[in-house]
Amino acid sequence: MSDRFATMKQEILDGIEKHAASRAEAFELRKQFLDSKIGKISQMMKEMKNIAPEERAGFGKGVNELKEWAQQRFAELDEKMKARELKMRYEKEKIDVTMPAVEESCGNLHPITQMRNQIIDVFAGMGFEVFENREIENDYYNFTALNTPKDHPARDMQDTFYLSPEFLLATQTSAAQIHTMENKKPPIKILCPGKVFRSDDDATHSPMFHQMEGLVVDEKITLCDLKGMLDVFVQKIYGEGTTTRLRPSYFPFTEPSVEVDVSCFECGGKGCKLCKGTGWIEILGAGIVNKKVLENCGIDSEKYSGLAFGIGLERATMLKYGINNIKLLFESDLRVLKQINDN
Ligand code: PHE
């Protein structure tokens, strides 16, 4: 009898040695011996009735011992398999943190958009509100209300794309001054980015380009306020030591009008190729809002005064990154765009 128990034990040990390579296999093997219905040890229990009565107690004890022994072996086996499978999983999922990362390529904002956002940041910091400009204007907003009536020679300053005798593609963001002052009473402090269109096309001009209009209307606004704000603007965009200088100019909607130069941020004012040896670079047009324009919008020109400026975004961007042809900003050539990136 004890032979049968010993043989069964050996059978179990052999099974464990040969067949159990995973928890699933170990489970199947366990079933072969310990399953309550089909297991070989359970079957042995059922033989009890065939055993001679005097041997029954010994046999029962032997089977129970065998069962306990087998349960222990299979529990050990299960533990071993569990540990092995965990180890294999860790092996498989191991991450080498020293491996170089896979580089993700992702897009960038266009340089013009970056410049636009940077300028908005600067003026938003000074309390300006931002309004998007219109692309189609009528003659009144683009010219007449800006003190440029039909026969005014200043209309020739900008070659206009007419859509009809009355409607046109905005030639300047200055129409935003009128829209704002018609709808808002002072104090006014707004910034209006927008697309503008002129029949003009060469290395530094494109038929469509971007401008940013600034308008401040309040009591006692002077050219000093204009210069103060523009100094902050050029320092933030072109670097700490940069300053501005105002030169007399002419726009029908500002009086006095100025052309604003920025001190050359390339040579620090000594004179170089960028500033054509002068130490200064022309950057934008500005001025004190013409009283007639305030009055056209129903604003008391005795009580209030205003300043306005118009920044060309392509020009500001070309200067900042040393780009000599405006077409490079419109061709979407990634080799070029990758070189112009502040982020
Ligand atoms: N609108 C002018 C231009 O396009 C720029 C400008 C804006 C000048 C505001 C003065 C005041 O050239």
Give the pLDDT confidence of 177-225 residue by residue, as tens digits. 999 999 999 999 999 999 999 998 888 889 999 999 999 999 999 999 9
Q: Which residue from 240, 177, 224, 214 is spatially nearest to 313, judged by alpha carbons?
A: 214
Upstream peptide bond of 248 is cis (omega within 30 degrees of 0): no
Ligand 1 atom having least distance to the Cα of 309 = 9
Amino acid at 208: M
In degrees and rounded to multiples of 5, residue 214 shows phi and psi of: -120, 140
How much is the pLDDT for 192?
A: 97
Å from CA of 254 to ligand 1 middle = 9
In this predicted structure, the answer to whether residue 129 has a pLDDT above a threshold of 80 is yes
Mutate to test the pocket of ligand 1, among 119, 158, 174, 227 (most ligand atoms within 8 A of CB): 174
309 lines ligand 1 (CB under 6 A): yes
The pTM of the full predicted model, rounded to 2 decimals, is 0.71
Strand partners, 194: 211
Minimum-distance ligand 1 atom for the alpha carbon of 289: 11
**Contacts of 156 by beta carbon, 8 Å cutoff, 6+ apart:** none
Nearest residue by C-alpha to atom 10 in ligand 1: 286
With a 6 A CB cut-off, is 251 part of the ligand 1 pocket? yes
Statement: residue 332 has pLDDT above 90? no
Q: What is the DSSP string of 109-176?
A: --HHHHHHHHHHHHHHTTT-EE-PPPSEEEHHHHTGGGT--TT-GGGGGS---BSSSSEEE-S-TTHH
The minimum-distance atom of ligand 1 relative to the CA of 285 is 8
Q: Which atom of ligand 1 is nearest to the CA of 215?
A: 9
Distance 308 CA to ligand 1 centre (A): 8
Rounded to the nearest integer, the mean pLDDT of the chain is 91
Q: At what angle do helices 23-34 and 53-92 cross, to 10 degrees?
A: 170
**Residue 277 falls in which region: left (phi positive, over 0), alpha (psi -120 to 50) or beta:** left
Is the distance from CB of 168 to CB of 139 less than 8 angstroms? Answer: yes
Q: What is the pLDDT of residue 210?
A: 97
In the reported structure, the alpha carbon of residue 203 is separated from the centroid of ligand 1 by a whole-number distance in angstroms of: 21
Find the 270 Cα to ligand 1 centroid distance in Å.
28
> What value does the mean pLDDT take over residues 121-136?
96
Give the SS3 label for residue 18. Answer: helix
